[in-house]
A and B are shown apart, each in its own frame.
Chain A
């Protein structure tokens, strides 16, 4: 018997089982997390049915059913399992004060899902659930009653959304351009003043330009105001389920749905439309509603800048360590130091980035090159460049280590062959060794991207903001604005999840943002993997 056990142990079968279990456990955990995020995140886009409950006291509750639970310690002889209660999203925050409400199941006299109730997504105060009483243009009533009002409302909402688009275009593009020019001229004037050329003719010229731009601006602002007034022209009188009324301009409604009256196909269509609007729209209401486009853009942009910064540094360092430096104590110490750098908490990098990049480097750049903008700092405050550099520092050890691995996997014969054919060391490195090591370098980049995308702590110190007024990339020269602050998906999750006052209503948004962050990481990684595989095919010899 002991012999058999001995044999079994020495055969290594047990070890294989251990390995298999470990892999299975890891996969299960990854899968579980993804599943949790997807269950909570993907449901957000679905147009949920509306329930109208009539309670025993005669009042009514209208909203989306959001869950049920057993009331703790409520077991009675009649209810051996305990009584239950349901949670409803009732919306109408301006009327009720809260978006959600708990209702005890035994208080419900009647539950119904009428087809004529609608969910109105508003630009302020969250959703409104109820019916339409009338639609008015100024003082004149255009449509009365729920059915007639519903028919009249749809084209009006489309019209209002078109107006909003026009307003946004005017604000962001037209007026944005004028502002940019005004700011440039102001800085130019200031620059001349600093050089004690206050009296120069150029200043007068620039001032004239500014006045002209101001006049343009005033004209556009007048148009803008006219458009805004137009938005308020039509108003709709909504009524919640208990009969309380709320009048609001049609321009306040983003969309109106009757989820109980929608077919499956219509719901699926709406699902993808909702998904797209979250991806493509700007946030509203202090980030708790609307879309997350600027955050997606900021994240991808930052990772790209970081990649551009981290690869040359890491690769050069690895080449020196592996190919040029004489292997000895010093190189060993450096290698240990590099490896340990990967274990430094990311917030420490953040503090370093703040002290070194933002204050020291950025402050110096400001005094040397942007004195006209002071005291408002240009580079002397957090920005996308400094955030990217900080993350580049954070991930440089990963790139160094995997590049070194890639270099060590290049067969000795390649180097010797290259040298024997008369190439110099530099030439053989550039033409032979580097291409062979490229897959290793890209592996390092993949790891670096994955690490950097999920990092939040150092970014909070070096340039991430809750709401950035402009994207870091636009059509104004020099197109890429390295000094601008940016939004980031990871910070968005932190902000919406921990800082937003209406945390109940914002919770689905947290999961959606997480889901999209994971998707961004996957897309970035897959593209790096695709490049690497392409390289591998090209240079088959490499082992890494």
Chain B
């Protein structure tokens, strides 16, 4: 994993992925301010282009997929409908795994996913259409590890996080981090128990955390599984010894997103835009829109315009507004070319 934060991205469709990666790394020159998540301005890439309306766009657009992307899709839909009042967009967000069947059945033209398609899902798609589904990264999410606002812990290594959440401890930490004392805290914190909050197993976030942090190990039985990302944050807010994971977009004043280090002894990095895009923060991931695109043929105009909107200045500003991190223009140019 190490310095490649987006290691989760380097899997099956490897060629394509590596191009995205290299573009992402090349593009990082924006934003040096420390306050980068508070001041949205630092995330703005001046090269983003304004969206330009085209004529002849109309019809219905159905989107079925991730609940992490649900808000973002809704905000994009609200914005897109301002450009084209004759477009109807319906959004269902019940989990990333509902996207592939919907694309295969044709009940949705857009499949938002907070993870990549699994090989099995891709095979099913290919069996039906004879080609693979096309993915478009639309935003960057940094999965944050949250503690209560009173918790003074300065930094946790991935090994410690694994030892707190997992009973298998695949990252090889020697002790079970079940009290805050074992994470290096003193005083009355020393004996305070670590109270764990996580997502339910249908969630893409659950899977991502299990794969990248636990190295496919098992969660402890006492992890309190929550029905939504926001309720993880709520749980940690109310629980002084709480520890939980959720998207950076869900941060509130009741919790603190702690800096993480990829390996114990290495540098700690906060889940900021700068750190995530520089690949220093170990839990960054892309959020995707999957579409059905036959090779050599253009996308249907409605889908193509929606993606163009998402990749425009307005679309990426919405990403910032929803609390996620936007994409650099270089990557956008590359993906627009593929359309």
Contacts and interface: CB of A to CB of B under 8 A. Distances in A.
> Do the two chains bind?
yes
- By CB atoms of chain A within 10 A, which of B67, B86, B89, B188 has the most? B86
A494 B187 CA distance: 39
Contact of B250 (A287, A376, A467, A501): A501
B90 A469 contact: yes
Nearest to B254: A504
B70 A73 contact: no
B40 interface: yes
Interface string A511-543: 000000000000000000000000000000000
Given A224-B85, A502-B252, A467 B71 contact: no
A100 B93 contact: no
Interface in B280-331: 321-323
Chain B's interface: helix, strand, loop or mixed, by majority?
A: mixed
Contacts of B67: 499
Interface string A373-408: 001110011100000000000000000000000000
Given A101-B253, A286-B71, A501-B71, A375 B37 contact: no
A379 to B, nearest CB: 12
Interface stretch (B118-126, B163-171, B225-233): B225-233
Chain A interface size, as a band, is 35 or more
B186 interface: no
B250 A179 contact: no
Interface string A264-291: 0000000000000000000011110000
A9 interface: no
Contacts of B323: 501-502
B31 to A, nearest CB: 14
A98 interface: yes
Interface stretch (B73-81, B131-139, B214-222, B258-266): B73-81
A72 B107 contact: no
A500 interface: yes
Interface stretch (A89-97, A111-119, A341-349): A89-97
A400 to B, nearest CB: 32
Nearest to B189: A73
Nearest to B228: A498
A98 B230 contact: no
B150 interface: yes
A467 B37 contact: no
A499 B229 contact: yes
A218 to B, nearest CB: 7
A468 interface: yes
Given A71-B150, A102-B149, A97 B75 contact: no
Contacts of A467: 74, 77-78, 91
B60 A217 contact: no
Contacts of A217: 86
6 contacts: A285-B75, A286-B322, A469-B88, A501-B250, A501-B322, A502-B323
Interface of A: 71-73, 87, 94-102, 124-125, 170-171, 175-176, 178-179, 182-183, 214, 217-218, 221, 224, 228, 284-287, 375-377, 380-382, 460, 465-470, 485, 494-495, 497-504
Which 7 residue pairs of A and B lie closest in terms of their CB atoms, listed nearest first? A498-B228, A97-B38, A375-B106, A100-B253, A503-B230, A286-B74, A171-B85
